[in-house]
């Protein structure tokens, strides 16, 4: 009967999707191993308690609500102290999303507790007292299966590897206090420069339209953005060639040294398909490639390839997608 | 500034990997090894800080088997002043165990800044730097794409999903390096010659207990072979049909 503690990540007073993924994963893990309780730690600014209901719906028995004005931003030291303090009370496993902030948090908690940590995990199982996880290592080229000994096992979960599913439990709230003063952080967040409002994050978008040097000029990225907006649920990505040239911000880069994504649909336009780029997107469910060179390596992984000039094909595709969306 | 940089030796990311019979690990035969990418950005960042800010020292550290000395020499050929090899054999998939050895060595060393890569290519874990920072009780900022240090403090930018986070922190501190900070230089011939004479100290690593160990490795299922469906804008209607009817994503 393992009990699991989940870090329910927030941004401001909003719950992030990875929080529901981790809660769903925790519920499934507990139910597969003879039952037990799922507790979710929800830290945020005042008002965040309203999000407890959604965690209950996804399987949390108890939601530990920790409200503090300084939790409007990521107060890494106080969050780590609070999660570590709570993790001591008899949990077998702690699930943390392997998001930007979750991957910052998990090693802090593990080091504080001297507890074993497995990162970026796509599946977790338990047999007897042994926990086994799978983790795509070597930039997704090798699946590494790891045995994790010791309690609590800190496990960070790859975003999108688990799909949020409703499985209502009590979601009883319990207010807790921060274990360290969130106003006394040594690392002080001065600013958070939000991207354009309503812009989908690459890690969360079901569709990604990604452009490479084949677009020829920064202004031609307009064609990529047009296709993304025709889909409506799409984010825009880029290759390193393009971010190096400053056509797109570094944060848009997909690949081994950029973001690693697994959308339902990945459209690669004017991208050669270098191995370092493939490392970031080869787990997409469906891949489309548009490239004028039929020998480009991207065609080896593309479910659907079109050989042609992006400047000609993109506008036609955008119009056709708009038409299809109209229904 | 006195800057420590912790580096790792990993297989070349362009390699084709094979798993040994029985699946206990990857087949290292024929693989090329080099400094892990993000760690090489960290070495470059340290060198640039000391070049810009005047007298300083860059010291590189690595936990691993003897072969890792080659990687430490490479860092010295780029310009690092000296190296410390913490000797340990076997697979090092428990980042906290490696961090324990590094923290024991770095403790009390008087470093202004301790740099790491954001994550290593092989483990792809992103654990060692942050865990070392925590064990040392130092302020720690992870995955930074811009870094400024001086006057006893630092400021950095981190990319978080859909936003950038700007932070300030006091030195000494631990920082893990993402893309954007510095692209590593190639060692010059002169650098390579000089590195041969730079000090490389070896001692046993005081690893923590390994509680995360490899049970098996396997290659991911291959994608079905790619397929070209047509040429130019004329192929668009067929693509849309396939996206709707076969892939069901439109
Ligand atoms: C350590 C390391 C890490 C790296 N990390 C990354 C990473 O994270 N992400 C990444 O993307 N790269 C990474 N790279 C770089 C990678 O090796 C490639 O250089 C890069 O991905 C190439 O980008 P590209 O496809 O845009 O450009 P190119 O390789 O130049 O390809 C452009 C493509 O556009 C096509 N094209 C040209 N004109 C047209 C047209 N009019 N219509 C249609 N097609 C056209 C060409 O046929 C070509 O295939 C890394 C490299 C190294 C060494
Ligand atoms: N064995 C090691 N010796 C020294 N530094 C290491 C070692 N392993 C990892 N590091 C550092 O920690 C970073 C992150 O590695 P990881 O936590 O394994 O993803 C690397 O980029 C290196 O800077």
What is the C-alpha separation between A169 and A38, in angstroms, rounded? 9
What is the C-alpha separation between B249 and A186, in angstroms, rounded? 46
Instruction: List beta partners, residue A121.
Output: A157
Range A154-183 average pLDDT: 96
Full domain range(s) for residue A86:
4-184
DSSP code string of B8-55: -EEE-TTPPP-BPTTSSSB--TT--EEE-HHHHHHHHHHHHHHHHH-S
Are residue A116 and residue A229 in the same domain, yes or no?
no
Give the domain CATH number at A111: 3.40.50.620
Question: Per-residue pLDDT for A324 more than 70?
Answer: yes
Q: Tell me the pLDDT tens digit for each residue of A170-191.
A: 999 999 999 999 999 999 999 9
Are residue A214 and residue A118 in the same domain, yes or no?
no
CA dihedral A104, A105, A111, A114 (to 10 degrees): -140
Q: Whose CA is nearest to atom 39 of ligand 1?
A: A214
**A200 lies in a domain?**
no
Chain B within 8 Å of A145 (Cβ-Cβ)? yes
Chain A within 8 Å of B169 (Cβ-Cβ)? yes
**A194 lies in a domain?**
no
pLDDT at B54: 87
Chain B within 8 Å of A163 (Cβ-Cβ)? no
Are residue A83 and residue A171 in the same domain, yes or no?
yes
Burial class of residue A145 (count of CB atoms within 10 Å of its CB; 0-12, 13-18, 19+): middle
Q: Cα B124–B179–A7 angle (5° rounding)?
A: 50
pLDDT at A213: 98
Give the domain CATH number at A281: 3.40.50.1220
Question: Per-residue pLDDT for A247 more than 70?
Answer: yes
Are residue A143 and residue A211 in the same domain, yes or no?
no
Are residue A168 and residue A22 in the same domain, yes or no?
yes
High-pLDDT (> 90) share of chain A, %: 90
DSSP strand pairing (A142-148 vs A130-137): antiparallel
Question: Per-residue pLDDT for A199 more than 90?
Answer: no
> Half-sphere exposure of residue A57, counting CA atoms within 13 Å on the CB side?
10
Structure tokens at B115: 């740099």
Compute, in angstroms, the gap from residue A275 CA to the centroid of ligand 1: 9
**A303 lies in a domain?**
yes
Are residue A60 and residue A108 in the same domain, yes or no?
yes
pLDDT at A196: 63
Residues of B in contact with A265 (CB under 8 A): 243, 247, 249-250
How many CB atoms are closer than 10 A to CB B28?
12
- Specify whether the CB–CB gap between A8 and A19 falls below 8 A: yes
What is the C-alpha separation between B128 and A57, in angstroms, rounded? 36
Are residue A140 and residue A36 in the same domain, yes or no?
yes
Please identify, among A184, A216, A234, the residue that sits at the C-terminal boundary of a domain. A184
Chains A, B: CB pairs < 8 Å:
272
What is the C-alpha separation between B231 and A293, in angstroms, rounded? 11
From the list B37, B141, B213, the residue facing A187 with the nearest CB is: B141
The pLDDT averaged over each successive group of 10 residues in chain B (250 residues) is 97 91 91 96 98 95 97 98 95 93 97 97 96 98 96 95 93 95 95 98 93 95 92 97 95
Number of domains in chain A: 2
Q: Do B124 and A136 touch (CB under 8 A)?
A: yes
Interface test with B, best of A99, A124, A142 (most B CBs within 10 A): A142
Count of residues making up chain A: 327
Q: Is the pTM of this model over 0.90?
A: yes
Please identify, among A123, A151, A184, the residue that sits at the C-terminal boundary of a domain. A184
Are residue A105 and residue A173 in the same domain, yes or no?
yes
Range A200-208 average pLDDT: 89
What is the C-alpha separation between B43 and A211, in angstroms, rounded? 30
What ligand is nearest to the CA atom of residue B133? 2
**A193 lies in a domain?**
no
What ligand is nearest to the CA atom of residue A292? 1
What is the C-alpha separation between A241 and A257, in angstroms, rounded? 12
Are residue A12 and residue A71 in the same domain, yes or no?
yes
Question: Per-residue pLDDT for A193 more than 90?
Answer: no
Are residue A315 and residue A222 in the same domain, yes or no?
yes
Please identify, among A149, A184, A219, the residue that sits at the C-terminal boundary of a domain. A184
What is the C-alpha separation between A198 and A204, in angstroms, rounded? 12
Element (H, E) at A107: helix A100-113
pLDDT band at A298 (very low <50, low <70, confident <90, very high): very high
Q: Calculate the average pLDDT of chain A.
A: 95
Range A16-39 average pLDDT: 97
What ligand is nearest to the CA atom of residue B89? 2
**A173 lies in a domain?**
yes
Q: Do A192 and B163 touch (CB under 8 A)?
A: yes
High-pLDDT (> 70) share of chain A, %: 99
Question: Per-residue pLDDT for A204 more than 90?
Answer: no
Distance between alpha carbon B118 and the CA centroid of its chain, in Å? 6
Are residue A236 and residue A291 in the same domain, yes or no?
yes
Residues of A in contact with B218 (CB under 8 A): 142-143, 145
**A300 lies in a domain?**
yes
Q: Is the peptide bond prior to B172 cis by the omega test (within 30 degrees of 0)?
A: yes
pLDDT at A198: 65
**A190 lies in a domain?**
no
pLDDT at A197: 59
pLDDT at B208: 84
**A202 lies in a domain?**
no
Question: Per-residue pLDDT for A327 more than 80?
Answer: no
> Pick from B176, B188, B199: which is nearest to B37 by CA?
B176
Are residue A146 and residue A248 in the same domain, yes or no?
no
């Amino acid at each position: 009967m393992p009990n699991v503690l989940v870090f329910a990540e927030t941004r401001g007073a909003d719950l992030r999707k990875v929080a529901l993924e981790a809660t769903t994963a925790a519920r499934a893990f507990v139910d597969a191993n003879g039952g037990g309780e799922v507790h979710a730690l929800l830290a945020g600014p005042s008002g965040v308690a309203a999000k407890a209901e959604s965690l209950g719906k996804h399987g949390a028995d108890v939601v530990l609500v920790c409200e503090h004005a300084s939790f409007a931003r990521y107060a890494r030291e106080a969050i780590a102290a609070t999660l570590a303090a709570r993790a001591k009370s008899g949990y077998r496993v702690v699930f943390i999303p392997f998001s930007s902030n979750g991957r910052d948090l998990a090693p802090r908690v593990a080091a504080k507790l001297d507890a074993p940590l497995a990162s970026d995990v796509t599946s977790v199982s338990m047999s007897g007292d042994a926990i086994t996880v799978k983790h795509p290592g070597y930039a997704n080229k090798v699946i590494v299966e790891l045995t994790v000994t010791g309690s609590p096992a800190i496990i960070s979960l790859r975003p999108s590897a688990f799909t949020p599913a409703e499985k209502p439990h009590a979601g009883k709230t319990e207010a807790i206090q921060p274990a360290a003063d969130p106003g006394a952080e040594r690392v002080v967040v001065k600013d958070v420069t939000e991207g354009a409002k309503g812009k989908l994050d690459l890690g969360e978008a079901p569709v990604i339209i990604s452009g490479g040097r084949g677009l020829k000029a920064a202004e031609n990225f307009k064609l990529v953005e047009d296709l993304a907006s025709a889909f409506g649920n799409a984010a825009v990505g880029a290759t390193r060639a393009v971010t190096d040239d400053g056509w797109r911000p570094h944060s848009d880069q997909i690949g081994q040294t950029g973001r690693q994504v697994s959308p339902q649909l990945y459209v690669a336009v004017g991208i050669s398909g270098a191995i370092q780029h493939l490392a970031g997107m080869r787990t997409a469910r469906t891949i489309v490639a548009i490239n004028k060179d039929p020998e480009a390596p991207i065609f080896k992984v593309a479910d659907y390839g079109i050989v042609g000039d992006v400047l000609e094909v993109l506008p036609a595709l955008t119009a056709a997608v708009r038409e299809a969306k109209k229904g | 500034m006195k800057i420590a940089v912790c580096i790792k030796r990993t297989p070349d990311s362009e390699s084709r990997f094979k798993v040994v019979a029985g699946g206990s690990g990857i087949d290292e035969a024929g693989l090329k090894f080099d400094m892990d990418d993000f760690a090489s950005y960290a070495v470059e960042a340290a060198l640039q800080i000391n070049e810009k800010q005047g007298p300083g020292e860059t010291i590189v550290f690595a936990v691993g088997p003897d072969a890792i000395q080659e990687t430490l020499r490479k860092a010295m050929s780029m310009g690092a002043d000296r190296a410390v090899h913490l000797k340990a054999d076997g697979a090092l998939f428990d980042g906290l165990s490696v961090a324990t050895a590094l923290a024991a060595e770095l403790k009390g060393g008087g470093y202004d800044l301790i740099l790491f890569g954001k994550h290593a290519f092989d483990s792809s874990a992103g654990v060692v730097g942050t865990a070392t920072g925590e064990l040392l009780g130092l302020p720690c900022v992870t995955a930074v794409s811009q870094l400024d240090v001086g006057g006893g403090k630092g400021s950095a930018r981190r990319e978080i999903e859909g936003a950038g986070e700007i932070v300030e922190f006091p030195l000494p501190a631990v920082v893990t390096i993402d893309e954007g900070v510095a692209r590593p230089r190639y060692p010059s011939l002169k650098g390579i010659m000089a590195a041969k004479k730079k000090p490389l100290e070896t001692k046993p690593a005081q690893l923590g207990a390994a509680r995360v160990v490899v049970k098996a490795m396997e290659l991911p299922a291959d994608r079905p072979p790619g397929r070209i469906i047509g040429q130019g804008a004329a192929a668009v209607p067929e693509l849309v049909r396939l996206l709707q009817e076969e892939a069901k994503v439109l």
